[in-house]
Each structure stands twice: as structure tokens, then as C-alpha cells.
A and B are shown apart, each in its own frame.
Chain A
Amino acid sequence: MHSAAQPDMIFGFSPVWFAGGLFVLTYVLIVTERLNRAVIAMMAAVLMIVSGVLTQQSAMQGVDINTIGLLTGMMIIVGITRESGVFQYLAIRSAKLVKADPWGILVMLVLVTAFLSALLDNVTTVLLIAPITLLIADTLKLSAYPYLFAEIFAANIGGTATLIGDPPNIMIASATGLTYNDFLFNLAPIAIFILLVTLVPFYFIWGRHLKAEPRLINKVMQYRELDAIKDWLLLKKSLFVLGLVMVGFIVGHDYGLQPATIALFGASLLLVLHIFPHNQEKQTEMVSRALGEVEWITIFFFIGLFILVYGVESTGLLEMLAHQVIEFTGGDKTVTAISIMFVSAVASSIVDNIPFVATMIPLIKNMAASFGGAEELIPIWWSLALGACLGGNGSLVGASANLIVAGFAERSGQPIHFLPFMLMAFPLMLLSVLISSIYVYFRYF
């Protein structure tokens, strides 16, 4: 089964066992969080090459440049755009639109977070929204907990809606050729519905009790959101490029343009517009700052994982697992899709959804022959995307954005503890997955 270039035995093990063992060990180390996850993934990737499972050349073939390019490009664009202050403007404006009513603010922050998460990555979104949330809650003398809890859900649900909203979607799109519009038409409607449904329990749990004194409400109303915009020229440039990139995502597929090309074009264009009038020294400083906004840990984590999973795939292990899954579900596509959705959701609430999806992609691809071709797998891809993205809401460790929000909560003296969060979040996450499974069943089967 394994590639011709692979040795028959690696350190006394067959390539399947060696790659499988290394894969499991890597996951265990990632879960224990004793070492930085990027370092673990890179080490595992290098071991795949050193041991002979992959050659350096074949390892590079495993790296999905589309995912890496899209993430890097968007991180640069957001990093520059945030300097304009537009995201703070949005958050404050939305709070004032509802006359600073505490429940209204929660709803608006949920909507803004979900909207930004659909257009940007979740971590960036919560990094932008959480500090403003803490300020508003502090001003209103209210606990920030309901707001931060709701924002975690909004970030993960909003991210589900688009190709660029959450890394699992980026990976799935890149592996399958599904377009920005495919994600928008298939996932956005259900994501919006789930978001609205989720607001109902939020209202009964917290919303109806959220009350603030009129003088404190007045303090929020005195915020001058226009003053949050620090650089109008940069704002115009950023919005122009962001708009261009969004249009590119929507129409680019028709012209053979991959999302990574569009995002990197946008990043390059914005960099040119941003640094152009300045001298050489200042340009170097500005480019250095913009590139510093890229989360290199995430990028190298992805690169390492891609090589690791490609190594495992090259041994034929994932193909064997795919046959096992089909056997388990009796070869029924509906059962397979729904099972994958629930398993992805539960797994993603326990472990990082990025390595999980990286593993599931080749596994699902290997099911194509059994289900009658790649086209037949499309409902399964939507199931994987919904399960992996929404599953992030199941626990505090389910998504990077959750941990970022929890960090803010802790530093502000209102910690979100693991178990109380999970007791409330896991059932809500299951509710969202249940709704998704009904949606997938009625829409695709």
C-alpha cells in the first residue's frame, strides 16, 4: 500500500505503524499542551521526512499552499485595517444603536462578532471585540460573562458561514475545490438560523436579568464612535481592498483564481497603498509591523500538520480507516454524513478542530469510490464543516477563539471556568449540531 520510495521497515516498524504511531503521539502531545503546538507539528513533519516515510519533495506536495496563502493574506489585511480603528467604531456604534440597552448590546455584539467572524478569522474577531465588551460591561456595572460567552458562540457560528470564516472551511475548500459562493449558499443560511436560535436560551438565561442604571447607560451613549477612527485615509484604503477581496472571493472562481491568490493580492495591494508615500526606512518599519501581525505559530502549525497527515496518508492508513468508517455506517451516505457531523462536533469540542479536519479530509476523499464519485461527497463535506466549526463551541478548548476570550475574562477578574462553561455550552453546541443535521438531511438527501 505504501509508496515505492518508503523503506519496508522504519525503526523496526512497518511504515503504516510508524506513521500511525507518530500521528497518535503528535495528537497526544498537542492535547497535553506541554509544548507549543507549532513546534510539535513541525517536529512530527520533519520526523516523517527523516524516517523516510516522505521525501522532502513529496512532503512539500502535502502542504496546502491555498490554505497557507489565504490565512497569511487575510491576517496581513486585517492587521493593517485594525490600525484604522474601524472595528471599535463598529462595536460602539452597534451598542449605541440599541440605546445602550444591556440585552440589546448583547444581541448587537453577537451580530457584529458573527459578521466579522464570517469575514475575518475568529481569533482576530474576538481580539477586536472582547476589550470593547469588557469596557462596556464595566461601564454598565454588569458581569461581562454573558457577553463573552455569547461572543464565543457568535465567533464560531459566524465562522461557519463562509469559506474564510474558520480554518476548517478553508482547508475543506482547498481540498475539494468548493467555492466561496458554495459555502455562502450552503452554510450561511443555517449559520444565521442557528445564531438566531441560540439567542433564545441566552435571553432566558441572562438577557431578561440584564439591567443597568440610566446614568450608566448614558455613559455608554456618550462614547464618540467617530473618534475611534484614528486614520481616515487608511480606513478608506482598507475598506477598498477588503471590498475588492470580497468581490474576488465571489467571482474569482469563474476566472480560475484561488482564494489564496485573491487574499495575497489584497494583502500586497494594501501594503503598497499603506507604505507608498513614506521613505525607505519608514516603509521597512511598516512592512515589518504588518508582517508581524501574521500569526506565524498558526501558519507553521498548519505546515507541520499538512506534512504529518500527508505522511500518514501515503502509507495507506487513512484509506483503510475510510473503509472501516463506511463499513461501520453500512455504506449509507446519510448515516455517514450525520455520523461524521456528530463525531466532528464532539471531537472538535475536545481537541483542536484544525488537526482533526486535516485528518478527516483525506479520509473522506478516500470514500469517493464507495459513494460513486467526488460529487457524491459534497453533503459529507458540509457535515464535516458544520460539525468541526460548531463543535468548537462545546468546551473552552474547542477553538482558539474560546481560549482568547477566556484569557480576557480571567485578566479582567471574571474568569470563565472550564466545567461551568462546558455544562452550559455543550448542550447548546449539541442543539446547533442537531439543527444542522436536520438541515443537511432535508437539503441534501
Chain B
Amino acid sequence: MPASEVMNPNPTTLKPTDTIECAAKCIMDNRYRNIPVVDENFCYLGMFGVNFLLKQVIPKSVFIDKGLKNVSFIHESLEDLYQRFDEIKNQPISMFLNNEVPPVSPDTPLTETLLQLYETRSSIAVVEKGTCKLLGMISYWDVGEKMLNVVGRPHA
């Protein structure tokens, strides 16, 4: 079975010009982990996700290479976290796209797709071969739902 058969062909998308605040609202409203970002031609540019938002509200010195490993002495409030978010919320998401999770093509075998899903712990974009056009998204839920629906179906 190829990846195209388990993908959601109508995923929610973001534009590169969307602000971080707008993207955060979309993520929170829908409980998404990652949302694909596409340009006006529906060309896939990368992902924007909840992990980025989490990173922005934690002190920067934690995330730099050889940075703080022990943060047990920092006691912050929700207001402190919001202040950090407030400083970046109006910036466009185009500057912070995640390209660490490579997209798959529609004919990628299901097992390979699932392995990538497992290893990256992120929803995966399905992009047309030879172009950058976004065809759909594959999440844990898409695969799980389709797999569970097999039960009770007559064998082919």
C-alpha cells in the first residue's frame, strides 16, 4: 500500500506570511503537532509546529549547543512564558520553518512511511514527485483510523 492511500488530501495549511501568533492559534484550536506551510502555488515549504512554540517560551540558553542542562533553579510563571512569546508573536513564520522532517512521495511504501512517522514523531507531508506540490498529510491518527477500519472488512 502506498503513502497516498493513508494521507489526508485536505490538510490545514499555513502561509509563510502568517504571523507566529496566528499559527499558534491554529495549532492550539486544532491540537495539531505540525502544520505544513505552502506558498500561493501550494508548493510545500516546510513545517511549523508546536515544538517551535515550546522552544520560544523556554530560555534560549537551554537550547544552544553545550547550553544549560540543569534548569531546576529557574521558577517562572505563565506570565514569564507569555512575555517571551509576546516578543516574537508578530514575526512571520517563514523565518522559522522546520525542514528536518523530509516529505514523502505518494508512492512511498506504507511501512517506510510508518517508520519515518515513528522516527520523526511528526506528521509527514506528501509531496508530488519532481515538484514541490503538497498533496496531503499523514498523521498517526490518519494511519490509525484507516488501520482500525480494516477490522470487519471482507478479505480481498
Contacts and interface: CB of A to CB of B under 8 A. Distances in A.
Interface of A: 85, 88-89, 92, 127, 131-132, 134-135, 138-139, 219, 222-228, 230, 407-408, 411-413
Nearest to A135: B61
B59 interface: yes
B73 A92 contact: yes
Contacts of A131: 61, 64, 66-68
Interface string B59-98: 1110011111010111100001000000000000000000
A109 to B, nearest CB: 14
Given A92-B73, A227-B73, A228-B72, A127 B60 contact: no
Nearest to A228: B73
A227 B65 contact: no
Which of B59, B66, B68, B73 has the most chain A CB atoms inside 10 A of its CB?
B73
A412 B67 CA distance: 10
Contacts of A411: 64-65, 67
A61 to B, nearest CB: 37
Nearest to A215: B83
Contacts of B61: 131-132, 134-135, 138, 412
Contacts of A85: 70, 72
Contacts of B59: 135, 138-139
Nearest to B74: A223
10 contacts: A85-B70, A127-B66, A131-B68, A138-B59, A219-B80, A223-B74, A223-B75, A224-B73, A228-B73, A411-B64
Contacts of A408: 64, 66
Contacts of B67: 131, 134, 411
A132 B68 contact: yes
A339 to B, nearest CB: 39
A249 to B, nearest CB: 28
Interface of B: 59-61, 64-68, 70, 72-75, 80
B102 to A, nearest CB: 25
Given A139-B59, A222-B75, A412-B61, A88 B70 contact: yes
A38 B45 CA distance: 42
Contacts of B70: 85, 88, 228, 230
Given A88-B68, A228-B70, 17 more contacts: A85-B70, A127-B66, A131-B61, A131-B66, A131-B67, A135-B59, A135-B61, A135-B68, A138-B59, A139-B59, A223-B74, A223-B75, A227-B75, A228-B73, A407-B66, A411-B67, A413-B60
A138 B83 CA distance: 12
A226 B80 CA distance: 21
Contacts of A88: 68, 70, 73
A412 B70 CA distance: 18
Contacts of A222: 75
Given A138-B59, A139-B59, A225 B73 contact: yes
B55 to A, nearest CB: 14
Nearest to B68: A131
A393 to B, nearest CB: 22
B71 to A, nearest CB: 9
Contact of B64 (A219, A223, A226, A412): A412
A224 B75 contact: yes
Contacts of B75: 222-224, 227
Contacts of B80: 219
Contacts of B65: 407, 411
- Top 9 A-B pairs, shortest CB-CB distance: A134-B61, A411-B64, A135-B61, A228-B73, A227-B73, A131-B68, A227-B72, A131-B67, A131-B61
A226 B67 CA distance: 20
B8 to A, nearest CB: 37
A346 B79 CA distance: 50
B73 A223 contact: yes
A63 B81 CA distance: 54
A92 B72 CA distance: 12
Which of A92, A127, A132, A413 has the most chain B CB atoms inside 10 A of its CB?
A132
Which of B61, B64, B72 has the most chain A CB atoms inside 10 A of its CB?
B61
A145 to B, nearest CB: 15
A216 to B, nearest CB: 10
B61 to A, nearest CB: 4
